[in-house]
Amino acid sequence: MEPDQVRRSVGKLVVTSRAPFTARKTRSALRKAVFPARFIRSGFRSVFVVEAEGEPLELAQQVYHDCGQLIGRGTAVLSEVESKLDAIKQAAVKIGTERIGPNESFAFRLFKRGLHNLEEDTPEIEREIGGAINAALEQLHGIKPSVDLSDPDVEVNAEVLGPITLVGVFKKNWQTAAKTSNLRQDQPERQMSDLESKEPSVTVSP
């Protein structure tokens, strides 16, 4: 097989718009960030399922870098399962043990939409699946994992879209790197503005 005929992997993301009225701008920004991209109809306003060539985590990082100010949440999808508790738990535990390091804090989040088979309340499901991830990590690393529900290093997210649930991760450093990059891009303009404000005014006599 020739090098240019090698099939590249296709990554999938779930991205939510920061607000309903910015959905169109978010979609346009996503197209530019991960071009060429395929948008899969999610059935829910302001929720975008995007497929593009590349690894899911790299694509998610690129999205945060290019349009982090427009998105509410971006998840690199690593598993697609039925919207049933056992299936989601199994996928979340597997992803958690593979993607959460021994020194990283974590949280599990569940986002329900549409008609599904999850009768338990969201907080109850999050506690059950988060506890299962916690137990699996402790067994794997031999140390007690760090759970941080407010600002974790890694989130294992389950995006319920009716009968299908997409499970994946979000990493805090994607957001941090994006903010740093934006500050650097703004810096030259700010420096020029400061220089202009410091220039001495010249009064021309008639």
Q: Where are the domains of the chain?
A: 8-181
Evaluate if residue 54 carries a pLDDT over 70. Answer: yes
State the pairing for strand pair 105-111/146-147.
Answer: parallel
Domain covering 8-181 in this structure, CATH number? 3.30.2130.30
State yes or no: pLDDT of 7 exceeds 90.
Answer: no
For range 18-30, the mean pLDDT: 91
Note the pLDDT of residue 45: 86
3-class DSSP state of 53: strand
Cα separations in angstroms, 151 against 73, 170, 194: 14, 11, 34
> CA-to-CA distance for 88 and 122, rounded, in angstroms?
13
Burial class (CB in 10 A: 0-12, 13-18, 19+), 42: buried
Rounded-to-integer distance, Cα 20 and Cα 143, Å: 42
Prediction pTM value: 0.82
Q: How high is the pLDDT of residue 4?
A: 47
Region 126-136: mean pLDDT is: 98
